[in-house]
A and B are shown apart, each in its own frame.
Chain A
C-alpha cells in the first residue's frame, strides 16, 4: 500500500497545474523511491517526467510498486478543495481502485477526505538516455515565462540561439519580428536572476511557443529553470524542486526557415 504525507499541499496543487494541460490521463508510479510520472502529450511531441522523491514526504511508505492511473483534470478538481497550507495525505491499497486524499488544516481542526476513482492506463515508458547537451542555460523561471508570453504575440514558434555571449529568443510572424536576448550574467547579488550558460558548441533551434508557454506553468515550483539544448534532440526544460523535479522534453520544429 501507499501512504504519503505532504506537509505543504500547495506543492501538489502547483504540480497538477503544471501538467494537467499537457497530459489528460497518466499513471503515478509509486515505489519506495518516491512518486514518479512520465507521460507524453496527446500529440506525442512532448514528454513530461515528474519525480517526487520519498524524502519530500513525511512519512512515506510504499511497500510494493503501484501504478495509479489518474485523470489529471479530475485530480486537480479535487485538489482545488485543499487549502494551500493543508497537509495532504495520499493513500492507496495494493490493487486499489481509488486514491484517497486527506486534507488536514491544523489551524481550524478541519479534516476533509476525498476519494478519486482510478483507471487502468496502458502507459509505455520511454527510456530517456543520458545526454550531454551542447548548451545548458540556467535562468530565472519567471524571465522564461515572460519571454515566451511576449513572443507568443508575434509568432507560434521561437528560434533559440545560444552562444557564449548569451541566449537569444527570436520570433518572426506576419505582423513583424521580435527578439529577447539574455546576456550571460554573473549578478552576484541577484542569484535568482542570473543567466548562466555552459556551452560545448553554439546551438540554434526552433521550438513551438505554445508548448513552451505550457511548460512555464511550472514556474511557481521553482525560481530557476534550466534549458538543455542540442541539435537533433529534444529540448529539456527542467524545474528543480526541493525533493524532486519536473522535466519537459520537446521535439524541435523542423523544416522551418526563419
Chain B
C-alpha cells in the first residue's frame, strides 16, 4: 500500500507474537451515534481513547523524537453495547409490530458505516447477540431480533457486575467519597447510582432513560433535597452550592461601576431568566 506507516504511542492489551494485525474501524458510538474509532483484533472488540495534545507535545522514542505526542489507549469493550443501538434501528419496531428478525449479515449491513460488517466476524457473535435478542431459525440459518426484556435484564446485570466489583476500583470508591459521612443506605445507593451512570455512558438516550427508570434512590434524593450534593458522574464538573446565595455574597463585596451602556442593558434584562438557570456552574 502507498499509505505511509505512522508510528503512534499506544497502550493496548497483550497479544501473542504471531497474532494478526489489528483492524482499525469507524463505528457509530453507541451513546452519541457519532463515528468513533474502534479496533478489532483476534475476534475481540476494543474501543480507542486518545489523549490529544493538539500538536503541542512529542514523544521521545529511544534516540528519536516522534512529533505526534498523543497517547492512544485501547481497552476491551463488550460488543453487545455496540449491538443494541444497531439492532434497535434494524428491527424497525412500530406500534403494531415487534419488528423484523434478521440474519447476522443483514444486521451489520449499513451504507453509512461499511465497517459495521467487521462486527459480524467477532468471536462468539451468535452467543453475544443471543444475550439481548430473541433467536429464531435452525443452526444453519439463525435470525435475531432485539428483545426489550432481555436487553433490560442484560443491562441490569452489567450494573450489578460493577456494583459487586465497585470496592475494588479505587477511582470509583473515590468518586463517591462524599458519602463517607452519610449513613450506609446512602452509600449503597450511591454505589448503584455510580454504576448505573457508568453503564449509561454506553447507551443511547432512550435506553439510558429506560434503564434509569428501573432504579430509585429514595435516600439519596432525600439527601439531595436537603443539601446540594456534588454530582458524581460529571468527573471534574461539579454543581455549585446554592446559586442565589453566591449572587448575594457577590453583590455585598463590590458593586461594579456600570457604564451608561451597561445601565441600559441592566434595564433591558427584565423578563429573562438568569443564564445560570440554563448552564450549571462548575468550579474551575
Residues of A in contact with B (beta carbons under 8 Å apart): 21-22, 24-25, 29, 32-33, 40-47, 54, 67, 73, 122-129, 156, 208-211, 214, 233-234, 249-256
Contact = CB atoms under 8 A, between A and B. Distances in A.
Q: Which 6 pairs, one residue from A and one from B, show the smallest C-beta to C-beta distance?
A: A43-B269, A210-B268, A126-B279, A45-B272, A44-B274, A251-B272
Given A126-B275, A251-B272, A254-B271, A42 B282 contact: no
B127 interface: no
Contacts of A40: 275-276
Interface in B154-176: none
A42 to B, nearest CB: 6
A253 B281 CA distance: 22
B271 A42 contact: no
Contacts of A128: 279
A255 B270 CA distance: 11
Contacts of A54: 56
Contacts of B240: 124
Given A124-B240, A211-B265, A45 B275 contact: yes
B284 interface: yes
Contact of A234 (B256, B258, B275): B275
Contacts of A127: 234, 237, 279-282
Contact of A253 (B56, B271, B274): B271
B259 A21 contact: yes
A29 B282 CA distance: 15
B265 A22 contact: yes
Given A47-B275, A124-B281, A42 B247 contact: no
A46 B278 CA distance: 11
Given A45-B274, A129-B279, 18 more contacts: A25-B256, A33-B54, A41-B265, A42-B262, A44-B269, A44-B275, A124-B282, A126-B281, A128-B279, A208-B268, A210-B267, A210-B268, A211-B268, A214-B261, A233-B278, A250-B272, A251-B275, A255-B271
Interface string B238-281: 00100000110010000011110110111111011111111111
Contacts of B277: 251
A222 B246 CA distance: 36
A40 B267 CA distance: 16
B22 to A, nearest CB: 30
Contacts of A256: 271
Nearest to B269: A43
16 contacts: A21-B259, A42-B258, A42-B262, A43-B266, A45-B269, A45-B274, A123-B284, A125-B281, A125-B283, A208-B268, A208-B271, A214-B265, A233-B278, A251-B273, A251-B277, A254-B273
Contacts of B283: 124-125
Contact of A252 (B262, B268, B272): B272
Given A32-B56, A122-B250, A43 B280 contact: no
A234 B274 CA distance: 10
A122 B247 CA distance: 11
A129 B268 CA distance: 26
A21 B265 contact: yes
Contacts of A126: 275-276, 279-282
A24 B265 contact: no
Contacts of A234: 275, 278-279
Contacts of A42: 256, 258, 262, 265-266
Contacts of B237: 127
Contact of A249 (B257, B268, B275, B282): B275
A199 B278 CA distance: 22
Nearest to A128: B279
Among B250, B272, B279, the most chain A Cβ lie within 10 Å of the Cβ of B272
B271 A24 contact: no
A200 to B, nearest CB: 15
Contacts of B282: 124-127
A59 B223 CA distance: 51
A234 B277 CA distance: 10
Contacts of A125: 281-284
